[in-house]
Structure 1
Amino acid sequence: MSSLKSLFKQTFVYGLATVLPRMLSFLLVRLHTDESVLDSVADYGSVSLIYAYFVLFNVILAYGMETAFFRFFNNEDNKDKVVGTSTIILIISSLLFFVLAFLCNNQIAYLTDLKVEYINLVIWILLFDALVIIPFAWLRAKEKPMRYAILKILNVAVNLGLNIFLLLYLKGLASTSSFFEIFYKPDFEINYIFIANLIASAVTLALLVPFYMKIKYVFSISLLKKMLKYAFPVLIAGVAFSINETFDRVLLDKLLPENIAKTQVGMYSACYKLALFMTLFATAYRLGIEPYFFSHSKSENPQHNYAKILEFFVICGSVILLTVVVFADVLKIIFIGDEAYWQAMWIVPVLLLAYFCLGIYHNLSVWYKITDRTKFGAYISVFGALITLALNYILIPFIGFKGSAIATLSAYASMMLLSYFFGKKYYPIPYNVKKIGLYMGLSIVMSILSFYYFRGHYVIGISMLIVFLGIVFILEKNQLKQLIKRN
């Protein structure tokens, strides 16, 4: 139980590093969806499309080396060799991408249907983000969550501050000061969004330069081959995951009529953000458990702890699902600036459940990571991506963004189930399926009733939430006492 307490402490700090920046980024949603900032919902759709491509290229530039770093950092005696090899190869690949991308920027702009000026900014951001992958992984591996959290929060704080300054105040300052007039350009709002991102990424990299100054640049070809072999399936899984995560925006843009496509993307992307409450929790949990999985894989009976971890995750996830659904219409007023975006609120419960399934999948993925069967992660993620692509192609022409939400849920639910059944065969873990099913089932049923049948009836919704919390307390009070009991 003490190891679980340590895990939860780390997860809490990683949660701060994830939740606080994302909460700050919610303010960006509020800012970008304000009708006084961007001219239309379609403009926000364009920004969302660019960030959809961001996710894909971030995965490609990492090519699974972060997960490989954790695997070999915990298993190799010579940790300097792992750090040095990982760092050197990421520097080389990132700089190679940077040069090739700038040489081909016009072709990239043509293929993505984006302006070259946006592409150039994006290339710089991708370079800076790639160069902090190993430094951040090193902080997690060395169990320095506070430093990790501070840097992550600072990154978003700089981004947010610059967005506010550039989008809200620069124009007014330029009209009264010749100094600020130098930096202001009319109709440059989308550029300003990416310039803010670029400066924030540059500041983060600058603060991580001491990592590059103090490590030993030990390079091993044999170790690199093993790391790349381990990382390749992770890369495939990551590409597939990025398709599941963001490609629906691209397909909405391509499959819907041109006169409504970007508007639909804008509405969908804005309401999608409300589902990020589940993503925040799942991401924080994943950041905490991934090093834990590897570091405790050789301890006595790790399967018991892995099973308990999933139970706690499902309990917390169920509470988050029901809470966000009950208060969804309050949250939309707080975080989405214009009523024009609210037409897509239907997708919120569907996407919350989708990310709940994804979080469970990440918990279940322990079996293939610690048994070096990462190829199964690739298989499962590719299967999910195929479902995403197929259902989007089938459903979008008929029901628009609702089809994209259904496709996302279908993909993540299928990945969750596949990982569970494969795990039973290759690395059996005694999950309490009945209890997990009870919590999930209750929260899903109550969420459906609250949102689709009693939406706006807060007495009913809050009553269901209280009943659910009461059930959790009754069933888990002994576990909770054990968890908080001092050793």
Structure 2
Amino acid sequence: MNSLLKKFIDFALGSGITLILGFISSPIITRLIMPDNYGKFSMFNTVTNLILVVVMVGLDQAYVRFFYEEEQVSRKKLLRESIKIPMLVNLLFSLLLILFYKPFSKFIIGQYSFSVIIMLIIQNTLGIIGRFALLVVRMQQKGKLYSVLQVITKLTYIVGVLSLFLILGNSYNTLILALIISNLLCVIWAIFTERNEWFGVSKNIKLKTSNKELIVFGAPLIFSMAITWIFQSMDKFFIKAFNGYIELGLYSAAFTIIALLNAVQGTFTTFWVPVANEKYVENPEKSKKFFTKVNLIVSFGMLIIAIGIITFKDFLILLLGPKYRQASNIFPFLVFMPIMYTISETTVLGISFKKKNKNHIYIAIISALVNLVGNLILVPSFGAKGAAISTGVSYIVFFSARTLISKNLYHVDYNLKKFYTSTILVTVLALYASFNTSMLILILLGMIVLLIVCFIYKEVLIWALNYLDDKFFRRKHKKYKCKH
């Protein structure tokens, strides 16, 4: 566990610094950019993410899945074979975007703009290369380098926004160009540092994994990830349709708070997937106890973070500035998005291990339908707040579907009674925070929920105390005894 903790800290370092940079930059950016332009930037990001899901053809996930099944000398070729098809599909998609730039740009920003489509194409291309560049680092478990790349990307984005604001002013182009520049620098740095993995691939190397296997594994993921995108993004389309870009900007600003939490989610997922695959390959049965313990620790940690963010939402929203103050009651339910996703990464293992990726389609469809119904009912009446509630509930369903299907394929004890009891308590807290303004009552309610969750997960607290005792106090005691 100590070596795993060290690896996690290496990966978490970049997220921690990125988190701090996010706290510093969010108040600045939201004070420079008006909500309507922030909403347009949000739509650009949303559409970019969908296109990436489609053009990637699931081969990024196939690369992850078969990485450890290939010999070390063969992994360069696996990278080459995995990235070829996404780049080709992206080229075809780019031609389509150029031919129909008017309807595409109108849909994204509400007006015709050829330049937005060109920026979209550049961002998509960088997205593909950047995805694989980071996977190369991640799969080799080079946590420190991964952290450096995270920090470079965030710093470049902040500097880019501030510099471009002086030229372009309050414009969505300021944010889009800063995003492109930061991704470009990250790609260049990642490929340069891992150039031995990218260049000099021998044609004589034979892969254990055929191109057909890569496509068969990855192709079903296109549909599941596309549906997942719909499930994750339909809230923005409903808000845009019913309330316009200003309300969407407020909603997206609330997401900037959640994006800080996404840093924790991203770090854990980056660290966890290769570790879990490695453990399973070593011994599928003996590793079950390990998976149970990790799930308990992650569940407790993420629930505590959720309680803290919901309880102190009115302090956190001060980061965004007066123009975005209405976002205060939007983001309590958005917390469930990274919380449920992160915890589900510890429970979804069976689907990946047993190569039953079609189940991801069913999971995404169920979650998307719940979110669709929720948005149809809640957004017309409650606007962005309704969209947030719908998103939060659908993510609880997403977790449940992932976990139940995975358990049927590879049974692990995930202590679900503890988890669902705690989730109900946090949901009650989020409901109060969304519809009430009494800060004192919210803090008192938050403290009560915190104490109950700590009692439910008391074994995790005992592990933590024993670890700290062994790591610090006993070691100091041994040193003291040696001196005397």
TM-score range, shorter-chain basis? Answer: 0.7 to 0.9
Structure 2 residue 14 is the aligned partner of structure 1 residue 30: no
> What's 2:212 paired with?
225
Following the alignment from structure 1 to structure 2, what is the Cα–Cα distance between the partners of residues 11 and 313? 12
> What's 2:419 paired with?
436
User: What is the deviation of 1:62?
Assistant: 2.6
Q: Return 455-464 or 362-371, whichever deviates more.
A: 455-464
Kept in 1, the 8 Å contact 2:67–2:75? The answer is: yes
What code does the residue aligned with 1:208 have?
A
1:9 maps to which of 6, 10, 14: 6
User: What is the deviation of 1:155?
Assistant: 1.2
> What's 1:325 paired with?
310
User: What is the deviation of 1:318?
Assistant: 1.3
User: What is the deviation of 1:140?
Assistant: 0.9
2:210 alignment partner, SS class? helix
Alpha-carbon spacing, 1:385–1:459, altered in 2? closer, same or farther (3 Å):
closer
Kept in 1, the 8 Å contact 2:333–2:389? The answer is: yes
User: What is the deviation of 1:359?
Assistant: 2.2
Structure 2 residue 362 is the aligned partner of structure 1 residue 379: yes
Following the alignment from structure 2 to structure 1, what is the Cα–Cα distance between the partners of residues 278 and 200? 22
Kept in 2, the 8 Å contact 1:63–1:234? The answer is: yes
Kept in 2, the 8 Å contact 1:315–1:439? The answer is: no
Alpha-carbon spacing, 1:466–1:133, altered in 2? closer, same or farther (3 Å):
closer
Q: CA RMSD in A?
A: 2.9
1:154 maps to which of 136, 152, 155: 152
Structure 2 residue 345 is the aligned partner of structure 1 residue 358: no
Following the alignment from structure 1 to structure 2, what is the Cα–Cα distance between the partners of residues 26 and 477? 28
> What's 1:192 paired with?
174
> What's 1:313 paired with?
298
Following the alignment from structure 2 to structure 1, what is the Cα–Cα distance between the partners of residues 313 and 19? 17
Kept in 1, the 8 Å contact 2:133–2:187? The answer is: no
**Deviations 1:13-51 (CA, angstroms, capped at 9, x unpaired):** 3333334335434544423321xx33x422222222222
What code does the residue aligned with 2:320 have?
I
User: What is the deviation of 1:150?
Assistant: 0.5
Structure 2 segments unaligned to the other structure (5+ residues): 476-484
User: What is the deviation of 1:226?
Assistant: 0.7
> What's 1:177 paired with?
none
Kept in 2, the 8 Å contact 1:30–1:337? The answer is: yes
1:297 alignment partner, SS class? helix
User: What is the deviation of 1:7?
Assistant: 3.2
What code does the residue aligned with 1:253 have?
K
Alpha-carbon spacing, 1:95–1:9, altered in 2? closer, same or farther (3 Å):
farther
1:119 alignment partner, SS class? helix
> What's 2:384 paired with?
401
> What's 1:202 paired with?
184
Alpha-carbon spacing, 1:239–1:341, altered in 2? closer, same or farther (3 Å):
same
Alpha-carbon spacing, 1:64–1:157, altered in 2? closer, same or farther (3 Å):
same
Q: Return 94-103 or 361-370, whichever deviates more.
A: 94-103
Alpha-carbon spacing, 1:375–1:387, altered in 2? closer, same or farther (3 Å):
same
**Deviations 1:229-248 (CA, angstroms, capped at 9, x unpaired):** 11122222222222232231
1:364 alignment partner, SS class? coil
Kept in 1, the 8 Å contact 2:53–2:226? The answer is: yes
> What's 1:143 paired with?
141
> What's 2:352 paired with?
369
Following the alignment from structure 2 to structure 1, what is the Cα–Cα distance between the partners of residues 106 and 433? 46
Structure 2 residue 86 is the aligned partner of structure 1 residue 101: no
Kept in 2, the 8 Å contact 1:11–1:288? The answer is: yes
Following the alignment from structure 1 to structure 2, what is the Cα–Cα distance between the partners of residues 288 and 85? 24
Kept in 1, the 8 Å contact 2:300–2:460? The answer is: no
User: What is the deviation of 1:205?
Assistant: 2.0
Following the alignment from structure 2 to structure 1, what is the Cα–Cα distance between the partners of residues 266 and 13? 11
User: What is the deviation of 1:217?
Assistant: 5.8
% same residue: 18
User: What is the deviation of 1:11?
Assistant: 2.9
Kept in 1, the 8 Å contact 2:42–2:252? The answer is: yes
> What's 1:180 paired with?
none
Following the alignment from structure 2 to structure 1, what is the Cα–Cα distance between the partners of residues 419 and 412? 14
2:282 alignment partner, SS class? coil
1:236 maps to which of 215, 219, 223: 223
Structure 1 segments unaligned to the other structure (5+ residues): 171-183
Following the alignment from structure 2 to structure 1, what is the Cα–Cα distance between the partners of residues 433 and 377? 29
> What's 1:88 paired with?
84
User: What is the deviation of 1:472?
Assistant: 6.8
Kept in 2, the 8 Å contact 1:450–1:461? The answer is: no
User: What is the deviation of 1:442?
Assistant: 4.5
Following the alignment from structure 1 to structure 2, what is the Cα–Cα distance between the partners of residues 236 and 425? 22
Following the alignment from structure 2 to structure 1, what is the Cα–Cα distance between the partners of residues 305 and 407? 28
Following the alignment from structure 2 to structure 1, what is the Cα–Cα distance between the partners of residues 428 and 393? 17
Following the alignment from structure 2 to structure 1, what is the Cα–Cα distance between the partners of residues 19 and 93? 28
Following the alignment from structure 1 to structure 2, what is the Cα–Cα distance between the partners of residues 462 and 412? 21
Following the alignment from structure 1 to structure 2, what is the Cα–Cα distance between the partners of residues 6 and 443? 33
Name the TM-score, length of structure 1 as normaliser: 0.85
Alpha-carbon spacing, 1:236–1:459, altered in 2? closer, same or farther (3 Å):
closer
2:275 alignment partner, SS class? helix
> What's 1:42 paired with?
36
Kept in 1, the 8 Å contact 2:48–2:123? The answer is: no
Kept in 1, the 8 Å contact 2:14–2:148? The answer is: yes
Point out which structure has higher relative CO (alpha carbons under 8 A, 6+ apart): 1
Following the alignment from structure 2 to structure 1, what is the Cα–Cα distance between the partners of residues 397 and 324? 30
Kept in 2, the 8 Å contact 1:252–1:400? The answer is: yes
**Deviations 1:190-232 (CA, angstroms, capped at 9, x unpaired):** 2222222222222122223334553516586972211111112
Kept in 1, the 8 Å contact 2:296–2:460? The answer is: no
Kept in 2, the 8 Å contact 1:277–1:324? The answer is: no
> What's 1:179 paired with?
none
Kept in 1, the 8 Å contact 2:57–2:86? The answer is: no
> What's 2:117 paired with?
119
Alpha-carbon spacing, 1:105–1:13, altered in 2? closer, same or farther (3 Å):
farther
How many correspondences in the alignment? 459
2:331 alignment partner, SS class? helix
> What's 1:268 paired with?
251
Alpha-carbon spacing, 1:232–1:473, altered in 2? closer, same or farther (3 Å):
closer
Name the TM-score, length of structure 2 as normaliser: 0.85
User: What is the deviation of 1:367?
Assistant: 0.9
Kept in 1, the 8 Å contact 2:59–2:83? The answer is: no
Following the alignment from structure 1 to structure 2, what is the Cα–Cα distance between the partners of residues 86 and 6? 30
Following the alignment from structure 1 to structure 2, what is the Cα–Cα distance between the partners of residues 67 and 33? 34
User: What is the deviation of 1:87?
Assistant: 3.4
2:413 alignment partner, SS class? coil
